[in-house]
Amino acid sequence: MVQEMLGDTEVLLNTDYFEFIKGHAGIAKKTIYTGNIDAFFDFCYGPLAYRSVRFETERIDDCDNYQGNAVVNYTSHEQPYTRIIEHKHFNFGKQPFTIISREYSAEWKPGMEPYYPVNDAANAELYAKYKALADQRDDVIFGGRLGAYKYYDMDKVIAEALNFAAQEL
């Protein structure tokens, strides 16, 4: 499906947009940017906050089925983790052992993966300032969860991309 969508478009992997654009300013009339909106504007109003997650992965040799399901959420304050992923259930693995990942909520710091936006008043206000800058850039579409500083499930982010495409094309 992805191959069909891309056709013969040139694709560069492992390439940081900001590094690339330094040597290729003006390469595109329109850019779809799906990175952090605050990074695009060089954090001029300060960084937006994110929540991150940390995974602890464990192989359990004497157990072929740890939790009977790929994902179990833990909402009680008694568990330090928020989810356990048991990987084999995603593809019906039949191994005599199992591998689980415990997912711990973690405060985001620069250099970590920014997983979730923090939807409090201070960050909403900060995002609004970046959005005002973004609205002045007719040459850039700020898309996706990082561009819009918004949590999207996959179906929602694809719907949003299709909406953008319908508007643009």
Ligand X SMILES: Cc1cc2nc3c(=O)[nH]c(=O)nc-3n(C[C@H](O)[C@H](O)[C@H](O)COP(=O)(O)OP(=O)(O)OC[C@H]3O[C@@H](n4cnc5c(N)ncnc54)[C@H](O)[C@@H]3O)c2cc1C
Chain positions contacting ligand X, by CB under 6 A = 16-18, 34-35, 53, 115, 144-146, 152-154, 157
Residues 116-135 as b/e (b if ≥16 CB within 10 A, e otherwise) read: ebbeeeebeebbeebeeebe
**C-beta of 62 vs 139, nearer to ligand X:** 139
Q: How many C-beta atoms surround the C-beta of residue 44 within 10 A?
A: 10
**C-beta of 64 vs 119, nearer to ligand X:** 119
Q: How many C-beta atoms surround the C-beta of residue 50 within 10 A?
A: 21
Least distance in angstroms from the C-beta of 36 to ligand X: 6
Least distance in angstroms from the C-beta of 65 to ligand X: 21
The Cα angle at residue 66 between residues 114 and 61, in degrees rounded to 5: 100
**C-beta of 45 vs 115, nearer to ligand X:** 115
Least distance in angstroms from the C-beta of 10 to ligand X: 15
In the sheet where 71-73 sits, what is the strand order?
71-73, 83-86, 98-107, 50-60, 116-117
Least distance in angstroms from the C-beta of 96 to ligand X: 27
- Terminal-to-terminal C-alpha distance of the chain: 20
3-class SS at 167? helix
**C-beta of 122 vs 159, nearer to ligand X:** 159
How far is 157 from 144, CA to CA, in rounded Å?
6
**C-beta of 2 vs 154, nearer to ligand X:** 154
Least distance in angstroms from the C-beta of 61 to ligand X: 27
Q: Looking at beta carbons, which residue is closest to ligand X?
A: 144
